[in-house]
């Protein structure tokens, strides 16, 4: 059974700092990996989707990488801002499956 | 204004009562999903539907039921058989079963 782990569970950084969030998964036979953002009491917003054949995706200040063989993904946030404060979740889907397996998330606080 | 609408935002259930959570989308997406989120936990899939009049159980379907009579609507009923229903419920839809678009959620609590 696929398991997704996100470390650390919480992270606090000063504004302007670059940071990396980590995601690991136990079964490398994935179809794709997604990073989501969740604000308190709200739904999830998709940030980046990486297909299993891709190594990375970029959107603005965000860059997500995927190393399928080692079961790892990172989300890099450049020049962090207080508005980036949220919980970030990663999720993987298995080949031929419509089901996503989610990690528990990393709660990010960017201090002005 | 396109999107996914969940209602109500807050819902309270009495013991032994069934309650229904609404999810409506005007994105013309074929696939719809229901997830449950507990504090500090990842999302867990309850039910999903790839097409009208068809749906499949997810990992934690016991105590829940769904219907998909229209493309736009995928209501979730939390039955009295669900002994621990307090959670944040999220509905999502997808045009391609890959990228998901989420509603704003319903917080269900037990009185």
DSSP chain A: ---EEEE-SEEEEETT--EEEEEEES---EEEEEEEEE-TTS-EEEEEEEETT-SEEEETTEEEEEETTTTEEEEEE-S--GGG-EEEEEEEEETT---EEE---EEEEEE-
Q: Average pLDDT for residues A22-43, to the nearest whole number?
A: 93
pLDDT tens digits, one per residue of B34-83: 999 998 888 999 999 999 999 999 999 999 999 999 999 999 999 999 98
Average pLDDT in chain B: 93
Task: Determine contact: B30 vs chain A, CB below 8 A.
Answer: no
pLDDT category at B16 given cuts 50, 70, 90 is confident
- Residue B21's nearest CA partner among B30, B97, B12, B29 is B12
Taking 60 as the threshold, does the pLDDT of residue B1 lie above it?
Answer: no
Residue A96 Cα, gap to closest chain B Cα (Å)? 10
pLDDT score recorded for residue B41: 83
Hey, are the CB atoms on B42 and A99 less than 8 Å from each other?
Answer: no
Task: Determine contact: A106 vs chain B, CB below 8 A.
Answer: no
* Residues of chain A with C-beta less than 8 angstroms from the C-beta of B50: 98
Residue A105 · residue B42 · CB < 8 Å: yes
């Amino acid at each position: 059974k696929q398991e997704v782990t996100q470390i650390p569970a919480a992270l606090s950084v000063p504004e302007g700092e670059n940071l990396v969030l980590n995601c690991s998964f136990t079964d490398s036979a994935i179809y794709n990996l997604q990073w989501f953002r969740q604000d308190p009491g709200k739904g999830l917003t998709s940030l980046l989707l990486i297909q299993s054949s891709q190594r990375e995706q970029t959107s603005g200040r965000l860059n997500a990488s995927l190393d399928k063989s080692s079961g790892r993904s990172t989300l890099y946030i450049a020049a962090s801002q207080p508005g980036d404060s949220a919980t970030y979740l990663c999720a993987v889907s298995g080949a031929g499956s419509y089901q996503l397996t989610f990690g528990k998330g990393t709660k990010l606080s960017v201090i002005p | 204004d396109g999107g996914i609408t969940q209602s109500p935002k807050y819902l309270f259930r009495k013991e032994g009562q069934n309650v229904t959570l609404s999810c409506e989308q005007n994105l013309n997406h074929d696939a719809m999903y229901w997830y449950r989120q507990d504090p500090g936990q990842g999302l867990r899939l309850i039910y999903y539907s790839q097409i009208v009049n068809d749906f499949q159980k997810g990992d934690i379907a016991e105590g829940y039921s769904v219907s998909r009579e229209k493309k736009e609507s995928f209501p979730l009923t939390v039955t009295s058989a669900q002994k621990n229903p307090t959670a944040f419920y999220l509905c999502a839809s997808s045009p391609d079963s890959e990228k998901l678009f989420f509603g704003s959620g319903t917080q269900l609590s037990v009185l």
